[in-house]
Chains A and B, each alone.
Chain A
Amino acid sequence: DAGVIQSPRHEVTEMGQEVTLRCKPISGHNSLFWYRQTMMRGLELLIYFNNNVPIDDSGMPEDRFSAKMPNASFSTLKIQPSEPRDSAVYFCASTRQVANEQFFGPGTRLTVL
Chain B
Amino acid sequence: GQQLNQSPQSMFIQEGEDVSMNCTSSSIFNTWLWYKQDPGEGPVLLIALYKAGELTSNGRLTAQFGITRKDSFLNISASIPSDVGIYFCAVITGNQFYFGTGTSLTVIP
Contacts and interface: CB of A to CB of B under 8 A. Distances in A.
A is bound by B? yes
Contacts of B94: 99
Contacts of B101: 42
B42 A105 contact: yes
A105 B88 CA distance: 16
A106 B41 contact: yes
In terms of DSSP, what is the predominant structure of the interface of chain B?
strand
Interface in A21-59: 33, 42-43, 45, 48, 50, 55-56
B3 to A, nearest CB: 11
B95 A56 contact: yes
B25 to A, nearest CB: 15
A98 interface: yes
B95 A55 contact: yes
A35 to B, nearest CB: 8
Contacts of B45: 101-103
Interface in B3-54: 31, 33, 35, 40-45, 48
Count chain B CB atoms within 10 A of each CB in A99, A105, A107 and give the residue with the most: A99
B42 A101 contact: no
B88 A45 contact: no
Contacts of A106: 40-42
Given A42-B99, A103-B45, 11 more contacts: A4-B42, A43-B88, A43-B99, A43-B102, A93-B42, A98-B97, A99-B31, A99-B94, A101-B48, A104-B42, A106-B42
